[in-house]
Amino acid sequence: MAIIQKIRDKYAKVAGGVIVLALVGFVLMDATSGGRGGGLFGPSTTVAKIDGSKIDVTDYDKAVMAQEEQMRAQNRPMDENATAQLRDQVLNQMVMDKLTTEINEKLGISVSDAELKEMLNPANPDPMVRQAFTNPQTGEFMADQVASTIAQFEKTKDPKMKAQWENFRNSLIASKIQTKLNGLLSGSLYTPKFVLDDLHEGRSNAANISFVNLPYTLVSDDKVKVTDDDINKYIAANKKMFDVKEESRSIDYIAFDIKPSAEDSGRVSTELETLKAEMGTAADIDNFVKVNSAVPVPVAYQSEEAISQMPAAEMIKTAAIGTTVGPFVYGQDMAIAKVLDRATLPDTVKVRHILVATKQGGREIRTEAQAQARVDSMLALEKSGVPFDSLIKTYSDDNIAQNPTGEYALALSQRSGFTKEFGDFAFSGATAGATKVVTVETPQYSGKHYIKIISKSDKNVNSTKIAFVIKPIVADKNTYNTAYATASAFANKVASTPANFAKEAAASALVVQSAQGLNRNSSLVQGLGASNDLVKWAYEAKAGAASPIFTVGGNKIVVAKVSEINAPGLLKPAGATKTGIENIIKQQKKAKLLIDANKQKSLADIAAANQVQVAAADSITFSSPMIQGLGNEPKVLGYTFNKNFKEGTLSPGIAGLGGVQFITVNQRYTKPEVGRDLKMERQMSEAMLKGRAPQMILEGLRQSVKFEDLRYKVYNR
């Protein structure tokens, strides 16, 4: 399909409002996917189609894995909910990438080698280059390191560094292409003078009105009845609003929480009391914590400021050295803490480091022996006089594109965020110039840090060395079985009579929740989080069917009912959608009753008959939608400035958003002219258009092509 021609045909008369594309960021990583078969009778390998153009599962999985690794590298949590959101984001990016690539090719937008070289010129760098080579601690742009770092990247034979450079280079090119396209399309935006005159008139013309507002609540619901015929007529009159493009399903559900009981808390407390006695005499406290704590908190010095933010802060501050305190509640967990030492330590330390990793994101990148050999080679080169700046570019597995100097200013108040080995050396008694190689192991990465202390602050703070053992308070099997039994009892009641779902829930004082508009590829269920199995069941079940039991997120047991199936075509209302339409029609019928009951009366008579007051709103302008005492009532605004509606006359009843209004325009006038600056008016108008354009173009592009999300076929949803 010729996307450009479609956009030209469909949107040529819109004043460039859909003319900016959002930058699609992508990261190319050396990752592989799980290798699905794609033979004639094998599983599908196409996760999406855009006008017939396919996105293959291998490419999709690779992009997802790359984003997951990037998230982990940034220490961002990757639970089921985050993963589900990320997978949707990746597909959206890939779709937009395909669309924008075709557009850029048709328009001939590209970046030459000369342009790329200019973008990398430290004298006038691209914003991405400036950001990458800015010291995160000082905010200083390190122009002198740009050329040498790029040269190092281009000469390296290290595949990881080559990939980093290729990623960065491609991102620069994509950003420049985006800037060119935005400039080209934004330049087509123009506001004609007649539009500026109309906007100016809307700001200059003002009015004072008197009004009576009759809220819809004056008519009780039992006075208006809505039939199925009313609903069908409303849908027929608003077909575009109710034209379903893609099948969706809605469910009602009850979530039975699996909450830890008092017995569960008591069990954890008893376990910690036993560990408390052992902790007091443990010879190797680091190993004791490693073996017994479910949450890895480094055995380290903590500043008084950091301790003040901890649970049981006063207990820890007043405990004698060698004392173990607790158990105490630690967020969703329970903990004990041993006070090991107290000392005064520098408030901040400035260090440089080189990371030689053995694992990153759970993947082994080199063995321990290979890492040690790499460290030995690096130390030998440093001893021979090779500068640290050169070593970091060659040897560090840290993200040197973001921090090419390897420098960090570490605050003691953030000590718990460092690995124990790194923090212990940084805040030890070592002086400026001291170096050490430490081995670390974390869920995100493992490897060897070569650390050099640059300086320490003169300001010392009181600190306490603390060891924590933390245990989660989790529901045991008995607690789970109790919740499961309650859910089973309800599921059995509604299994054969799902129509009684709401009635049975009310009888048991259970709260029914709803999740609307689930499509086949939905992973996140409103109010529950990630639950692929529940969505899959909803698409296999018939309308009105009740579900078996589902365990969601490890802490909820769910029983659901399919409340609504919206097949492609004209909507067949049910569930919450039907209720929403009923409410609209009720409001329309209430409006008619209020209007009919107050015809041919004055404002004062209408107010008296309905026990409300006549109110006034002054200095109303057409450009300001909010009306004093009424809020947002567009129809009232329209009547106020309708030249066919004469001043001093009473309007008919106006069926507004919040009620029926009757108004009288007391005065229309023009504000004093203060002189116009057409250039400024045009800039302001076009700036508003440009601000809305990204969202408009995304929607416009997606609607201009046929898009099919087929992930449910690939992943058997």
pLDDT tens, residue by residue, 550-569? 998 888 999 999 998 888 88
DSSP string, 458-484: S-EEEEEEEEEEEEE----HHHHHHHH
For residue 251, pLDDT over 70 is answered with yes
Q: Which two structure tokens, joined as six digits, stand for 526?
A: 């409103």
| Residue bearing tokens 């409001």 | 587
Q: Which of 650, 695, 668, 675 is nearest to 211 (CA)?
A: 650
Quote the crossing angle between the two packed helices 146-155 and 388-395, to the nearest 10°. Answer: 40
Average pLDDT of span 691-717:
78
Q: DSSP letter for 525, please.
A: E
Most confidently modeled of 50-59, 92-101, 602-611, 668-677? 602-611
What SS3 state is found at 214? strand
Q: What are phi and psi of 460, to 5 degrees?
A: -105, 150
What SS3 state is found at 164? helix
The answer to whether 661 touches 179, Cβ cutoff 8 Å, is: no
| Residue bearing tokens 């500068």 | 387
Q: Which of 548, 550, 565 is nearest to 495 (CA)?
A: 548
Q: Rounded CA gap, 487 and 546, in Å?
A: 13
Q: Rounded CA gap, 597 and 613, in Å?
A: 17
Q: DSSP letter for 546, please.
A: B
The answer to whether 222 touches 686, Cβ cutoff 8 Å, is: no
Q: DSSP letter for 141, please.
A: B
Tell me how far apart the 2 most distant CA atoms of the chain are, in Å: 101
Q: Rounded CA gap, 452 and 441, in Å?
A: 19
**Percent of the chain having pLDDT more than 70?**
89
More confident residue, 137 or 446: 446
Q: What is the pLDDT of residues 369-384, one digit of tens each?
A: 888 988 898 888 888 8
pLDDT band for position 138 (cuts 50, 70, 90): low
For residue 12, pLDDT over 50 is answered with no
pLDDT band for position 3 (cuts 50, 70, 90): very low
Q: Which of 516, 571, 588, 566 is nearest to 238 (CA)?
A: 571
pLDDT band for position 678 (cuts 50, 70, 90): confident
Which own/partner contact pairs does 502-511 have at CB distance under 8 Å and 24+ positions apart?
Answer: 502/252, 505/254, 510/254, 511/254
pLDDT band for position 41 (cuts 50, 70, 90): very low
Average pLDDT of span 11-38:
32
Average pLDDT of span 19-31:
29
Q: What is the pLDDT of residues 462-505, one digit of tens each?
A: 888 899 999 999 888 888 999 999 999 999 999 988 999 999 99
Average pLDDT of span 626-648:
91
Q: Which two structure tokens, joined as six digits, stand for 491?
A: 């599921």
Please count the other Cβ atoms lying within 10 Å of the Cβ belonging to residue 602. 13
For residue 416, pLDDT over 70 is answered with no
**Percent of the chain having pLDDT more than 90?**
28
Q: What is the pLDDT of residues 263-314, one digit of tens each?
A: 999 999 999 999 999 998 888 898 899 899 988 787 888 888 888 888 888 9
Q: Which of 665, 445, 453, 480 is nearest to 557 (CA)?
A: 480
Q: Which of 48, 179, 207 is nearest to 109 (CA)?
A: 179
Q: Which two structure tokens, joined as six digits, stand for 614?
A: 């006549």
Q: What are phi and psi of 629, to 5 degrees?
A: 85, -10
Tell me the whole-structure pTM to 2 decimals. Answer: 0.58
pLDDT value of residue 652: 93
pLDDT value of residue 34: 37
Q: Rounded CA gap, 377 and 364, in Å?
A: 20
| Residue bearing tokens 């060897």 | 448
Q: Rounded CA gap, 149 and 400, in Å?
A: 9
The answer to whether 583 touches 228, Cβ cutoff 8 Å, is: no
Q: Rounded CA gap, 584 and 570, in Å?
A: 18
For residue 22, pLDDT over 50 is answered with no
Provide the mean pLDDT of the chain.
82
Strand order in the sheet with 615-621: 615-621, 205-215, 659-670, 654-655
Q: Rounded CA gap, 460 and 100, in Å?
A: 55
Q: Quote the strand ranges of 580-691, DSSP E.
A: 615-621, 626-627, 631-632, 654-655, 659-670
pLDDT value of residue 20: 30
